[in-house]
Amino acid sequence: MSKAAPETPGALDRAGTLTIVASRYNSTYTDALVESASETIKKLAPDLEIKVVRVPGAFEIPVVVEAAACSEEQPLAIVALGVIIRGSTAHADLIAESITKSLQQTSVSHLIPVIHEVLLVENTEQAEARALGDELNRGREAAEAAIAMIDVMESIEN
């Protein structure tokens, strides 16, 4: 596991919407991811409107991401946040693989950055390190990636 996050992007001076779609399941971790992502977005891109949509579980994230991508007011980027804790069956792996493929398909087909931070972890210790920690905070990293990708997409359009 890499602990080196990409460089923090510069501030973004652009109005628009950024949508966060987050699971309610494993709420201790997902709430922290949403909070960290929102704080980072407000700091780096104060002109962006943040829309947060909560869904029951991780499996429901892709359909809402697709709906946001198809909406009349298309967001500049979408951040998908969730935590799947592996159990004794293959269920978590199947869910994670399905989510990954669906999020990539939406991103590519609509040309909207979809930042995938639906975490598949082995245990609560790993979830805590990635969602509650300061050093390795995937909510912050997802927000930074979204801001960087909005900038990249804007540079391609211009």
Residues assigned a catalytic role: 91
Q: Alpha-carbon dihedral of residues 61, 86, 140, 57, nearest 10 degrees?
A: 20
Tell me the DSSP string of 32-92: HHHHHHHHHHHHH-TTEEEEEEEESSGGGHHHHHHHHHHSSS--SEEEEEEEEE--SSSHH
Contact 57, 23 (CB under 8 A): yes
